[in-house]
Chain A
Amino acid sequence: MLLYNLRLAWKSVLRHPALSGLIVAGIALGVAVSTSFVTIWHVLAADPVPGKSGRLFFVRVDAWGAPEPYDEAGNPPPQLTYQDMRRLLGASDIPVRQTASFPSIAYVRPQERGQAGRRPFQATLRMTTADFFPMFEAPFRYGSGWDRTADAKPEAVAVIGSDLNDRLFGGKDSVGSTLRLNDRDFKIVGVLEDWRPKVRYYDLLGNAYQEPEEIFLPLEHFRAMGLEPTGSRNSWRVEPWGLMETLDSSEMIWLQMWVELESASDVRAYHAFLDDYARDQKKLGRFPKPLNNRLSAVGELMEEWQVVPRQAKALAAISALFLVIAALNLIGLFLGKFLARSSVVGVRRALGASRGAIFAQHLVECEVVALIGGVLGLLVSMGVLALVNRMYQPAGVEEAFFQLDASMMLAALGFALLAGGIAGVYPSWRICAIAPAHHLKNQ
């Protein structure tokens, strides 16, 4: 019966092309608007590391020594001082992995044969530790990350991104090759795949939508290389801008730390460890405020720091409402179309169609029209997203940022069916409830 109803629906669409076109356009508009904005929200709010985001925790301890809190909301500072990072990183065996990092820049000096004529160029760095790669599931094309012993020395090893590998080595396996940064040589131990998470979840400060850095080095090289962080740094007291002079006693916050904890009990235990650390620091005259340490999962941090702009969420909600309103506006058109064929419905009722069969026939027609509108709306929303990408592409992101994935395409068709249902239920009910006898004589 469904196939029969689909056939009847298609005939009806073709019989009234103008009216059908109007309804299709209405649904397409609603679907296009809602799909576009929901996609924007969906892309921004998507779990950047599914299956693991609940185990990765951002570490904050309140080392802010000023009488005033760090911010009006009473949050601890978002980053750590170097001295706190040194004392915390590796001090507890509760986390299965732990890492600290900060972003920087350096000059790459091409050394390989065939690259000699190339001029040095600036590249982005992530100074970090060995656990960074397995923690954040960085995918490798060649080689791997370095091990923990390389952090301690630190060894002159590097992991590079695929773009840099393409640029310097033509995409070949460069593991074992030398990378000259500023005036130092590093042995490449790993080349990442084309790694472009929608949200750079390991560093949600600043622009979280940038691509990962081009080069990753063991963190402690920053001292010898004199690398300064390109991310934010802040201090509650006046300190020299150059970090190196007072590094070990500096109150400058500029390092980010993450731990990987496997269970809720581990989270509680590590939080207690942080509190114990803060109490110890209080005894040394630091951490003057009440205990205010935080462990925040990726999703919590994205929410707290509003990585997804509130406007995106609001627009998604408003656009869904727009779809409902568009659908409600189509009720009248469907109703007029259906009631105009009351006599035919009367004939069908006389020939044995139940009210349910008539209802189903007309609802199927609504859904067919809605699906056509949905497909059209999907195409329009692709255009809208292309426009949005052109206008608001986040800096540093090359590929189209807002794209319709399979789930959003299905969602768009779902929106269309929902709109068809909203617009079609009442007219279908009205037409199935007509008194057939009244219309038979009048055909």
Chain B
Amino acid sequence: MLEMHNVTKIYRTGLVETRALRDFTLTVDSGEFVTITGPSGSGKTTFLNVAGLLDGFEQGTYKLDGVDVSRLTDRQMSRIRNEKIGFIFQSFNLIPDLDVADNVDVPLRYRGLSAKDRKERIERALGLVGLTSRARHLPSQLSGGQQQRVAIARVLAGDPKLILADEPTGNLDSGMAREIMELLEQINEAGTSIIMVTHNPEHAARAHRQLHIADGRMVDMERIAPMPLNRVIAHPSAARA
């Protein structure tokens, strides 16, 4: 699914160069759930940005779903982000002007789907996260956990192959965080690859594989057994199959 080899990312501020990623190499298979931990400033978010085609890199190669992304145009990268990648952020990143349904609709708009198709996807995604009744609520009218579920519904509606989650439980209390983790595990169980950055060792331990980044490099890699799932929800792709 994701193949990075010796990727180097450098931030330049005036005369100062900061190597956020150094010869970073990582392969993530389809359907894999990988967690990444590391201290602040170690390069976790930079890795997610590069992996999500939100930021470029100076050296190395990066193939996403078999496509070398280093020479793609902005439009091509946008298309890949839209169709193959789903983002979940610590601060939810919902658009405050738009209600829940319209937030879920955003990636679908850029895909050029028909109104009917979009409506079906939105309803299905909100149903999967249990927020059908909140479709016309604004984000400000929802709790943190509900907002994160909307963000997950936004991802589900797009039916991506890879989810990049940046501390998705970081702003939630433990109960909400557990719900979100279960939701992510269920999505992964349905076949979607997930790479999740987290500071929470307990959450990190629930992945197929835990990675640790320090100073822009992978310093530890360990395969662990997948965690048992409490329950399984249908993934949109499975529902259509």
- A357: B residues at CB distance < 8 A: 78, 110
What are the residues of chain B within 8 A of A350 when measuring CB–CB? 52, 54, 81, 87, 93
Q: Are B107 and A11 touching (Cβ within 8 A)? A: no
Query: In the assembled complex, which residues on chain A have CB atoms less than 8 Å from the CB atom of B154?
Result: 351
Does residue A246 face the partner (Cβ distance < 8 Å to B)? no
Chain A, 342-362, CB within 8 A of any chain B CB: 343-344, 346-357
CB-defined contacts of A8 to chain B, threshold 8 Å? 97
Interface size for A (C-beta < 8 A) is 26
Distance between Cα atoms of A347 and B96 in the complex (Å): 11
Q: A1 interface residue, CB < 8 Å from B? A: yes
Contact with A along B80-114 (1 / 0, CB 8 A): 01110001011101111110000000110111100
Most B CB atoms within 10 A — which of A11, A350, A440? A350
Would you give the 0/1 interface string for A344-384, flagging 1 where the beta carbon is closer than 8 Å to chain B?
10111111111111000000000000000000000000000
Our pick among B55, B79, B93 for the contact of A352 (Cβ within 8 Å) is: B79
Chain A residues near B52 (CB-CB < 8 A) = 350
Residues of B within 8 A of A352 (CB): 78-79, 81-83, 107, 110-111, 158
Q: Which residues of B sit under 8 angstroms from A11, Cβ to Cβ?
A: 97-98
**Given that A1-B109, A4-B109 are known contacts, is A351 also in contact with B49, CB under 8 Å in the complex?**
no
Contact with B along A6-18 (1 / 0, CB 8 A): 0010011001000
Q: Which residue of A lies closest to B82 (CB)?
A: A352
A355 to B53, CA, bound (A): 13
The reply to whether B49 and A443 contact each other, CB–CB distance below 8 Å, is: no
Nearest A residue (CB) for B107: A351
Task: Check if B74 sits within 8 Å of A347, measured CB to CB.
Answer: no
CA distance A250 to B214 in the complex (A): 110
Q: How large is the interface on B (under 10, 10 to 19, 20 to 34, 35 or more residues)?
A: 20 to 34
Residues of B contacting A351 with CB < 8 Å? 81-82, 87, 106-107, 110, 154, 158
Taking CB atoms and an 8 Å cut-off, the chain B residues in 97-156 that contact chain A are: 97-98, 106-107, 109-112, 154
B-facing mask of A404-443, CB < 8 A → 1, else 0? 0000000000000000000000000000000111001101
* Cα distance A62–B54 in the bound complex, in angstroms: 80
Neighbour of A353 across the interface among B78, B87, B94, B96, CB < 8 A: B78
Q: With both chains docked as a complex, state the minimum distance between the C-beta of A338 and any C-beta of chain B, in angstroms.
A: 14
Give the dominant DSSP class at A's interface.
Answer: helix
Contact partner of B54 (CB less than 8 A), chosen from A12, A355, A440, is: A440
> Is A441 touching B97 in the complex (CB atoms < 8 A)?
no
Q: A350-B87, A441-B45 are in contact. Are A12 and B78 (CB under 8 A)?
A: no
Judge whether B71 is part of the interface by a CB distance below 8 angstroms: no
In the complex, A124→B112 CA distance in Å? 70
* Inter-chain contacts of A354 with B (CB < 8 A): 74-75, 78-79, 110
* CB interface residues, A 226-248, toward B, < 8 Å: none
State the CA gap A435–B53 with chains docked (Å).
11
From B90, which residue of chain A is reached at the shortest CB distance? Answer: A441
With a cutoff of 8 Å between Cβ atoms, the chain A residues found around residue B49 in the complex are: 437, 440
Residues A355 and B74 in contact, CB atoms below 8 Å apart: yes
Residues on B with beta carbons closer than 8 Å to the beta carbon of A346: 93
- Distance in angstroms from B6 CB to nearest chain A CB is 21
B110 touches A344 (CB 8 A): no
Residues from chain B with a CB closer than 8 A to the CB of A349 are 54, 78, 81
- Asked whether, in the complex, the Cβ of B78 is within 8 Å of the Cβ of A443, the reply is no
Q: Given the complex, which residues of A lie within 8 Å of B166, measured CB to CB?
A: 441
Q: State in angstroms the CA–CA spacing of A365 and B109 once bound together.
A: 17
Interchain CB contact under 8 A, A347 and B93: yes
Residues of A within 8 A of B111 (CB): 352
CA distance A4 to B98 in the complex (A): 12
Q: What's the Cα separation between A350 and B51 when bound, in Å? A: 12
Interface residues of A (CB under 8 A from B): 1, 4, 8, 11-12, 15, 343-344, 346-357, 435-437, 440-441, 443
Taking A1-B109, A350-B52, A357-B78 as known contacts, 16 extra A-B pairs with beta carbons closer than 8 A to each other, sorted by chain A number, are A343-B93, A350-B54, A350-B87, A351-B87, A351-B110, A352-B107, A352-B111, A353-B78, A354-B78, A354-B79, A355-B75, A357-B110, A440-B54, A440-B87, A441-B90, A443-B91
Chain B interface residues toward A at CB < 8 A: 45, 49, 52, 54-55, 74-75, 78-79, 81-83, 87, 89-91, 93-98, 106-107, 109-112, 154, 158, 166
